C-alpha cells in the first residue's frame, strides 16, 4: 500500500534526511587512504545517536542470514550495495559508496554518496559523475501525474547511452515511517508505466550503475552485492517528495560537498 504524506510529515522526513546528509559529511572528512570502513561506521553511528536519532540499518533483518551488523553500508570498488564495514584499509584509487539511514521523530532518512579515495582513474570518476547526473535526471521525473516507470526510463536511457550497466536486482523504494515502503522505484523501465505518482508520495531514488556488465552476485555474508565481472560500481541516492511542478529533495549533498570542495564529483 502506498502512503501519501502530509506537509507536516514531509517536514519530519526532511529533518531525518538532512541528518543523513550531515552524517555523510562527517564521513567525507575521514575518507582517505589508510582509513578503514569500520572507522567510518563508528563515527557515523556516534554522530547519528548524538543528534537524537538511531541508525536504521543496524539490526535490519535479512532473509538470507544475519541482521545487518553496522550503521553504514560501505561498498568498495566492485561492491554495488550493502557492503559491511570492516578492517580492510582503503587505498589510493579506491571508491567507496556509503549508504546511510536514520530514524528520528517517527520518520526515516536515506541517502547515499560514492566517494573517491585519493586519486581515482578518470574512467572511474566518469562513472561516478554519470551516476550522480542520472540521479538528478530521475528526480526531474518525480512529479505529480507521471509514473514510476518514467523515473527508471530516464535513468536507464542516460546511463546506457554511456555504455554503463544498470543493476536490476536492487531498486529504490517508498519511504516514510518505514525505511522501505511501496512503491518500488527501479532504475530501469518503460515510460508511462508503473504506479501513478501523486503529490505527497515520498520515494528514495538510487541509481546503482556499473562500469561493465550489469550482472551482480551476492557474497557469502548474505549482504554484500558485487559486480560479476569485478568492475567498479557507483551508487548515489536522494529521498524526495513528489511535487506538482518539481520534486522536493529532502536529503542533501550540500554538507558533503562543502567538505570535499573541488574534489566533489
Would residue 47 count as lying in a domain?
A: yes
Domain span at residue 31 reads 7-263
Q: Residue written as cell 511542478?
A: 245
Q: What is the mean pLDDT of the chain?
A: 97
Mean pLDDT along residues 50-59: 98
Q: pLDDT tens across 127-184, in order?
A: 999 999 999 999 999 999 999 999 999 999 999 999 999 999 999 999 999 999 999 9
Determine the Cα–Cα distance for residues 27 and 42; give it in Å rounded to an integer: 10
* Mean pLDDT for the stretch of residues 187-195: 97
**Per the annotation, does 180 bind a ligand?**
yes
238 known member of a binding site: no
- 15 located within any domain: yes
CA dihedral 131, 42, 257, 159 (to 10 degrees): 0
CB 18 within 8 A of CB 252: yes
Number of domains in the chain: 1
Q: Reply yes or no on whether the pLDDT at 65 is more than 90.
A: no
CATH number at residue 17: 3.90.230.10
> And the C-alpha cell for 48?
547519528
Q: Would 2 be classed as within a structural domain? A: no
The pLDDT of residue 23 is above 80: yes
Q: Quick check: is 238 in a domain? A: yes
Q: 123 in a domain, yes or no?
A: yes
Q: Taken in order 104, 105, 107, 112, is the CA torsion positive or negative? A: negative
Whether residue 26 is annotated as binding a ligand: the answer is no
Q: Is residue 1 part of a domain?
A: no
In a domain, 77, yes or no: yes
Is 99 annotated for ligand binding? yes
pLDDT per position as a tens digit, 94-116: 999 999 999 999 999 999 999 99
pTM value is 0.97
Q: How far is CA 26 from the centre of its chain?
A: 16
The whole-number average pLDDT for the span 182-210 is: 98
Give the per-residue pLDDT at 63: 83
- The phi, psi pair for 125, rounded to 5°, reads -60, -35
Amino acid at each position: 500500500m502506498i502512503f501519501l504524506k502530509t506537509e507536516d510529515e514531509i517536514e519530519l522526513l526532511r529533518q531525518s534526511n538532512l541528518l543523513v546528509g550531515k552524517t555523510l559529511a562527517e564521513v567525507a572528512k575521514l575518507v582517505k587512504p589508510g582509513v578503514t570502513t569500520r572507522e567510518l561506521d563508528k563515527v557515523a553511528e556516534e554522530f547519528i545517536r548524538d543528534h537524537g536519532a538511531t541508525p536504521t540499518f543496524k539490526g535490519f533483518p535479512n532473509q538470507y542470514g544475519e541482521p545487518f551488523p553496522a550503521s553504514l553500508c560501505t561498498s568498495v570498488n566492485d561492491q554495488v550495495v550493502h557492503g559491511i564495514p570492516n578492517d580492510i584499509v582503503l587505498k589510493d584509487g579506491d571508491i567507496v559508496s556509503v549508504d546511510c539511514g536514520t530514524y528520528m521523530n517517527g520518520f526515516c532518512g536515506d541517502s547515499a554518496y560514492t566517494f573517491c579515495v585519493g586519486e581515482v582513474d578518470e574512467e572511474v570518476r566518469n562513472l561516478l559523475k554519470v551516476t550522480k547526473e542520472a540521479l538528478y535526471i530521475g528526480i526531474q521525473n518525480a512529479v505529480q501525474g507521471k509514473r514510476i516507470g518514467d523515473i527508471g526510463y530516464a535513468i536507464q536511457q542516460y546511463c546506457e547511452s554511456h555504455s554503463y550497466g544498470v543493476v536490476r536486482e536492487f531498486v529504490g523504494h517508498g519511504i516514510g515511517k518505514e525505511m522501505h515502503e511501496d512503491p518500488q522505484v527501479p532504475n530501469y523501465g518503460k515510460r508511462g508505466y508503473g504506479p501513478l505518482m501523486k503529490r505527497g508520495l515520498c520515494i528514495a531514488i538510487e541509481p546503482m550503475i556499473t562500469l561493465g556488465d550489469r550482472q551482480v552476485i551476492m557474497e557469502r555474508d548474505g549482504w554484500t552485492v558485487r559486480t560479476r565481472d569485478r568492475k567498479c560500481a557507483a551508487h548515489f541516492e536522494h529521498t524526495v517528495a513528489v511535487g506538482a511542478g518539481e520534486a522536493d529533495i529532502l536529503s542533501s549533498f550540500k554538507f558533503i560537498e562543502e567538505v570535499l570542495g573541488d574534489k566533489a564529483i
